[in-house]
Amino acid sequence: MTPARESRAVEALPDAPVERLGRLKHPQQVSAIARAPGLVITASLAKSLRVSRADSGERVAMIEGLRTMPWHMAGSPDGTRVAVAVGHAIQVYEVPSLRLVASWKIHRAVVSAITWSTGGVWSGAEDGTAVRHGEDGRAEVSLAGGGEVRSIAVGGALVCVARVSGRG
């Protein structure tokens, strides 16, 4: 099989006990994954988003032709939306329809991390900034620091930001 025809798979597993529920196939590599109740949302290097049923793999919705490859995404706590990092912007889609409901351009650099918390979305960028966006997309909190933001985790009042400083 040539790489262009090679199929990439994502396995949908329940939280516990662990058992394979299904495989979701893509024509390109999967770059990001998020979940919603009973659904799996995947992004691929083909600049597309896909919503599939977690139990059967059946495709529910798909959009193609995103401006750039979506490398990071996070599902909302209530499972009704997914925030997708696309270049310097964050696009928010309704789940399961994948209807675009918001597009936020707050970062000056490529968005390199994203997570959803109660009341908003946290995102980090290659320039070291981490921003909490309110439900309306306005930047409510901005943290500057050295090094690219690689990951953000939120739990209660605690926000953890992992950065790469570029120093040996």
- The sign of the dihedral angle between the CA atoms of 82, 83, 85, 91 is positive
Same domain, 155 and 79: no
Per-residue pLDDT of the chain (168 residues; tens, 9 = 90+): 333 333 344 454 445 444 555 566 666 788 888 888 888 898 988 899 999 888 888 889 999 988 888 889 999 888 899 999 999 999 999 999 999 999 998 888 999 999 988 778 999 999 888 888 887 888 888 888 778 888 888 877 777 888 887 644
CA 116 – CA 140 distance, rounded (Å): 14
Same domain, 91 and 155: no
Range of the domain at 58: 1-105
pTM, whole model, 2 decimals? 0.79
Same domain, 94 and 121: no
Same domain, 114 and 75: no
User: Residue 144 burial (CB < 10 Å; 0-12/13-18/19+)?
Assistant: exposed
The number of distinct structural domains making up the chain is: 2
Same domain, 75 and 129: no
Same domain, 118 and 88: no
Q: At 40, which CATH number?
A: 2.130.10.10
CA 43 – CA 32 distance, rounded (Å): 5
